Amino acid sequence: MSSQVGERPITNDHKLRRRMTLSIDSPRAGRREWVGLGVLALACLLYSMDLTVLHLAVPSLSATLQPTSAQLLWIIDIYGFLVAGSLITMGTIGDRIGRRRTLMIGAGAFGAISLVAAFSVNAEMLIASRFVMGIAGATLAPSTLSLIFTMFQDAKQRSLAVGVWIASFSAGGAIGPLIGGALLEYFWWGSVFLIAIPVMALLLILGPRVLPEYRDPEAGRLDVASAVMSLVAILVVIYGLKDIAQDGFGPAAVAVIATGLGVGFLFVRRQRRLEHPLIDLRLFQIPAFNAALATNVLTIFVAVGYFLFIAQYLQLVLELSPLEAGLWSLPSAAGFIIGSTTAPRFIHRIRPARLLGVSLSAAAVGLLALTQVGTGSGLGVIVVASLVISLALAPVFILTTELIVGSAPPERAGAASGISETASEFGGAMGIAILGSIGTAIYRGRVASDIPDGISSGASEAALDTLGGAVAVAEELPVEIGTALLATTREAFVSGLHVSSVIAAVIALGAAVLVMVMLRSVAADESEPPQPEPDLRLADPGLAESA
C-alpha cells in the first residue's frame, strides 16, 4: 500500500525508516486532543440521534401540522437524503477551506435550523428546515473523522479514537428514540429538535480551543458542477432504493436508479478531466482502499438490513411498546460500543485479512441464530444474536474506516471520509431495499396462500401489504378471525425474517472471503494506515490558516 496516490510502493526498508522517524517525530495525543475527541463524539452522537429521534414524534406532529402522506414521508426522509447526497461535497470543502472551519459552520447552521424546525407552523416549513439540517449535518461526519486522523498521529491512539467515533454513532442511534420518547411524555413534538442547540453551542465554544485546523494548501477551486452532479446521482439512486423497499421492484424504481447511475457515470467522466476533481479517482487504484470500501458497504448492508426486521419483530410479533423495544435493543448498541472501544487494543496485532474474515464469520453465526426465532418466543435469541453480531462487526468498522481514510494522502482525508460515509449510506439503503423486498415478498406469498376465510377484500389487501397493516385490521375483526389472521401474518413475517437472515449471513461470509483474498498480502504492522510526514501546520493551527 503506497503512502500517497500515484506514488510508487514503499519498500520494506523505507517502511522501517519511516516507522523509526514517526516513533520520534509523531507526538502522542495529549489532554487537548482527547477533550477534542469528546467534543467530536458528542456532535456525531447528535447527528445519529437526529436520524431516529423524530420517529416517535410522528403521531403528535401529524395531529398538529396535519401533513399529507407525501409530506410526512418527506419530513421523515429528507434529512437522511440530503446528508447522504452532501457527504462527499462537504468532505471536499473541508479539505479546501479547513476541516475545523467547515465543522464550525455546519454546527452553527445545524443548531440554528433546529430551533426553526422545533417551532415550525406547517409541514412545508418543517420540510424546508429538515432539508437545510441535512446539508448542515453532512459536514459533521467527514469533518470529525478527518480531524481525528489529524489529531491522533499515534496508530494505537488513532484506532481508539476511531472506535470512540464509531461508538458515538451507535449510541446516538440507540438513545435517540429513548430521549425522544421521554421528551414527548412532557413536551410538544418540536422539543426533540431542541436537544441539538446546547450540543452545538458546546461545539462552537470548545471547538476553536481544542480542535486543530488543517486544509490542503494547494487545493484548487471547488467545481460546483461536480458537486451538483454528485448530489443528484446519490439522491436519485437512494430514492430509487427506498422506493424498492416500500413498493418492491418495478419499472419506475429501476428507471430512477438507472437515471442516477447515468448521472454518476457523467460525474466520473468529468472527474477524469478536471485538474482539481471533487473525488480523486486514483484512490480507487489502491487495493486496500477498494477492499476496505467494499467490505464496509457489505457490512453496513448486513447490519442495517437485519435490524429492519428486528425492530418490527419486537413490536409487531412480540407486541412490545416502542419504549420496551428500544430498551431491548440497547444490548445490541452496547455491543457496538464495547466492541468499538476494546477492539483497538488488538486489531493491529492481527493480519487484517484474518481479523476481518473471523469477525465477519462470527457475525454470520449470529445472523444464522436468528433462524431459531419463533412467533411465540424469541426475545432471548434476538438479544443474544444481536449482541454477537454487534461485537463481531465493531472491529470491521474500525479497521475498514482506517484503511479507507488512511489510504488517502493527508490533504484528501476529508474527501476520503466523505466517500466512506457515502458508501455506508448506500450500503444501508441497499440493505433495507434488497433484504426488505425479499422479506416482503415472502410475507405476501405466505399470507396470500394462508389468509383465513371471512375477511373482506379491503382488509385482506391491508393485511397483505405489511404486518403493521395486518395488526391494525385484526383489531377490527371478530376475535376468532382476528386471532387467526395475526397467527398467519406473524408466521409469514417470521419466515421472511429467517430467509433474510440466511441471505445476510451468506453475504457476510462472502465479504469474509473477499477481504481474505484482497488483503492477504497485508501484514499486521502494515494494516496501520500510512501517516503523513511531520508537518508544522498540524502543530500550529495559525500556520494552516495562513497557508
Q: Are 404 and 292 in contact (CB under 8 A)?
A: yes
Nearest to 79 by CA among 121, 138, 124, 120: 138
Q: Which helix (H) or strand (E) holds 357?
A: helix 352-369
Domain identity same for 244 and 307: no
Q: Which residues of the chain have pLDDT under 70?
A: 1-27, 29, 51-56, 58-59, 69-70, 73, 177, 181, 216-220, 245-248, 322-323, 407-415, 522-547
Does 450 reside within a domain?
A: no
Domain identity same for 385 and 249: no
Last residue of a domain, one of 244, 259, 277: 277
d(CA 149, CA 452): 59
Domain identity same for 151 and 238: no
Per-residue pLDDT tens over the stretch 339-363: 877 877 777 777 878 888 899 999 9
Q: Are 544 and 99 in contact (CB under 8 A)?
A: no
Last residue of a domain, one of 164, 181, 213: 213
Quick one: how far is CA 500 from the chain centroid?
20
Q: Are 439 and 496 in contact (CB under 8 A)?
A: yes
DSSP assignment of 84-117 equals: HHHHHHHHHHHHHH-HHHHHHHHHHHHHHHHHHH
Nearest to 144 by CA among 528, 418, 422, 425: 418
Domain identity same for 241 and 118: no
pLDDT score for 379: 83
C-alpha cell at 199: 450540543
Does 456 reside within a domain?
A: no
Domain identity same for 515 and 372: yes
Quick count: other Cβ atoms within 10 Å of Cβ 394?
A: 26
Query: ∠ CA(513), CA(519), CA(522), 5° rounding?
Result: 145
Query: ∠ CA(152), CA(154), CA(159), 5° rounding?
Result: 70
Domain identity same for 171 and 78: yes
Domain identity same for 235 and 321: no
Using DSSP, state whether 125 is helix, strand or coil. Answer: helix
Nearest to 531 by CA among 212, 152, 214: 152
Q: Which residue is associated with the grid cell 464496509?
A: 296
pLDDT score for 528: 45
Domain identity same for 209 and 319: no
Q: Are 343 and 188 in contact (CB under 8 A)?
A: no
C-alpha cell at 195: 436537544
Does 339 reside within a domain?
A: yes
Q: Is 284 exposed, middle or buried (0-12, 13-18, 19+ CB in 10 A)?
A: middle
Domain identity same for 146 and 100: yes
Long-range own/partner contacts, residues 260-264 (CB < 8 A, 24 or more apart): 260/232, 260/233, 260/234, 260/235, 260/236, 261/233, 261/237, 263/229, 263/232, 263/233, 263/236, 264/229, 264/233, 264/234, 264/237
Quick count: other Cβ atoms within 10 Å of Cβ 514?
A: 18
Q: Which amino acid is at 356?
A: L
Does 410 reside within a domain?
A: yes
d(CA 317, CA 445): 18
Per-residue pLDDT tens over the stretch 89-126: 887 787 777 778 888 888 888 889 989 988 988 888 98
Domain identity same for 99 and 123: yes
C-alpha cell at 202: 458546546
d(CA 176, CA 307): 16
CATH of the domain at 71: 1.20.1250.20
Using DSSP, state whether 30 is helix, strand or coil. Answer: coil
d(CA 470, CA 482): 9
pTM of the model: 0.71
Q: Is 534 exposed, middle or buried (0-12, 13-18, 19+ CB in 10 A)?
A: middle
What total of structural domains would you count in the chain?
A: 3
Does 47 reside within a domain?
A: yes
Q: Which amino acid is at 207?
A: G
Domain identity same for 306 and 193: no
DSSP 343: G
Domain identity same for 47 and 144: yes
Does 1 reside within a domain?
A: no
Q: Are 383 and 262 in contact (CB under 8 A)?
A: no
Query: ∠ CA(43), CA(62), CA(249), 5° rounding?
Result: 80
Q: Which amino acid is at 359?
A: S
Does 495 reside within a domain?
A: no
What is the residue range of 322's domain? 286-437+501-529
Quick one: how far is CA 201 from the chain centroid?
24
Last residue of a domain, one of 213, 231, 253: 213
d(CA 215, CA 546): 10
Does 465 reside within a domain?
A: no
